[in-house]
Amino acid sequence: MSAKYVFVTGGVVSSLGKGLAAASIGCLLESRGLRVNMMKFDPYLNVDPGTMSPFQHGEVFVTDDGAETDLDLGHYERFTHAPLSRDNNLTTGRIYEQIILKERRGDYLGKTVQVIPHVTNEIKNAMRKVSSNGADVTIVEIGGTVGDIESLPFLEAIRQMRQELGRESTVFVHLTLVPWIAAAQELKTKPTQHSVKELLSIGIQADILLCRTDRSLPLEMKKKIAAFCNVEERAVVAAKDVPSIYEVPVCFAQEGVDSLILKYLHKEAPEADLTLWKDLVHRSYHPKDKVSIAIVGKYVEYEDSYKSLKEALTHGATSQNLKLNVTWIEAEGLESKFPEDRSYEAQLEGFDGILVPGGFGKRGIEGMLNAIRYTREKQVPYFGICLGMQTACIEFARNVCGLKDANSSEFDPASQHRIIYKLRELLGVEEMGGTMRLGAWTCILQEDSLAAKAYGGATEISERHRHRYEFNREYEALLTGAGLRISGTTPDATYVEIVELPGHPYFLGCQFHPEFKSKPLEPHPLFREFVIASYKNRMSRVSEQVDSVTTVG
């Protein structure tokens, strides 16, 4: 049986939600018993997003095999169980890199290397490779917007795929915009018409139109779009704005998107079972209470920098039937000029829990240290991830162990006490090329630790990493002697993975990024337990306030 593909493209403007649309389609097909795989092509010339600023591109998502990928792969993993790796995200840069290497080796036997057929063949081969793992349907998202010069080779490649495989094996889903013009008080279909025409000009006829809109599409408008864009009336889908992204699969199911795709692909499948998704949506809209979390980070001006983090917190909160209230705090705003200046504490009061996420560089570090000191001294639940674990160790060394000069060699190479450092520095190994610890690493947990309890008593776990600096075990005896607990390490005991503070309501730092493995229906245990501890803190404060009022009365 030939491979089946769903190609997702976007028009009119960027940021319409192609990634969420593709992920939701994957979710629906998976709920009907099909095995899906997901793929994203990005048209920029960077080899991968690993060296791009979070302000430019948002979060860098990491797969088990250590690939630094587009954040849309995070949506794919949260909505489906597709086995993603570096093969599932390719950029123009990586494709051209592969082609140039082949040309230098002489693989093309002296031929002129061109966009057609060489670049398009490389793109098609990448799609075939991903679909060869036994997937019933492979969903391929083309980044960028139709009409962009850099997207043309990818669009030409998927056009050729239909020519080669036939209509019964390919479906084109086009995401477009139906804006509401306030001055005219009406929805406008012209942008959608032009976008479909642009797609048609390069030889692709859309099969299904996902029309992004902030309100319902009247039936007459759907008929108009269908007539002008040469699609079935029921293939004009209102992709309406919804409060929760996890409602999108449910909305698509109501519009019959999955049934339409299966019809076009000539594929039979059982009816979708969305019971768990509907229950998830119900809980997100009808919480029993709320929990308030402050995220003290370096890139808070652009929330997509912490996309998986925010979603993992949401998963933890929804699992407890709680509404998540997140406050983003710029770490630099918590810095103080003098050690005795504690005025920053006013910005941290009233939160149920505080989280310090990952990041690179020294900007905002002193503010993070102040936030961590506050959580440790005030007994506020704390969760540190990657840089958040490293700064927790530095804060403990400074303010509990008395090492005022304690630091990371990333921030101060001349520091006398390098609590955090590059392991290779100590070994005297000269740095060459990429030095990050990336992808899945095994971690051994200490029994009866906070981490082991969160993981249900497990003693061995696997989590994903993306960092360059490590805890310096030369300081282990000093810090553990003062009360810090190292509860997770790599099997060979070389790297420290988790630290805790016994006796604290919840104080845990992990070197890995647990947010990358959290799913809405399968919340990550560390996020779940952090939310539970934060909510307990909230209820304790509410109880104290009630007691205070009662006493005064």
Please give the Cα distance from 97 to 503 (Å, whole number): 53
Alpha helices in 111-240 (DSSP H): 120-131, 152-165, 190-201, 219-229
Q: Do residues 21 and 75 lie in contact, with contact meaning Cβ atoms separated by under 8 Å?
A: no
Please give the Cα distance from 71 to 92 (Å, whole number): 17
Of 368, 516, 355, nearest in space to 438 by CA: 516
Query: Which residue among 229, 515, 524, 529 is the active-site one?
Result: 515
Long-range pairs for 189-194: beta carbons < 8 A, 24 or more residues apart: 189/221, 189/224, 189/225, 189/228, 191/11, 191/12, 192/11, 192/12, 192/225, 192/229, 193/225, 193/228, 193/229, 194/12
Of 228, 230, 226, 246, nearest in space to 238 by CA: 226
Q: Is 513 in the active site? A: yes
**133: amino acid identity, one letter:** N
Query: Which residue among 395, 513, 524, 529 is the active-site one?
Result: 513
Q: Do residues 344 and 330 lie in contact, with contact meaning Cβ atoms separated by under 8 Å?
A: no
**474: amino acid identity, one letter:** E
Count how many Cα atoms sit within 13 Å of the Cα of residue 355 in the half-sphere of its side chain: 30
Tell me whether the omega of the peptide bond preceding residue 117 falls within 30 degrees of 0, making it cis.
yes
Alpha helices in 446-552 (DSSP H): 450-454, 476-481, 525-552
Q: Is 386 in the active site? A: yes
Q: Do residues 459 and 416 lie in contact, with contact meaning Cβ atoms separated by under 8 Å?
A: no
Of 364, 279, 12, 9, nearest in space to 151 by CA: 9
Please give the Cα distance from 153 to 524 (Å, whole number): 39
DSSP notation for 96-125:
HHHHHHHHHHTTTTTPPP-IIIIIHHHHHH
Q: Please give the backbone phi and psi of residue 250, each rounded to the nearest 5 degrees, phi first.
A: -65, -45
CA angle 346, 350, 354 (to 5 degrees): 90
Tell me whether the omega of the peptide bond preceding residue 357 falls within 30 degrees of 0, making it cis.
no
Query: Which residue among 386, 393, 401, 510 is the active-site one?
Result: 386
3-state secondary structure of 340: coil
Start-to-end C-alpha separation, the chain: 77
Greatest extent of the chain over all pairs of C-alpha atoms, in Å:
92
Residue tagged 């999955």 (tokens): 258
Check the CA dihedral 452-85-37-357 and report its sign: positive
Which sequence positions are flagged as catalytic? 386, 513, 515
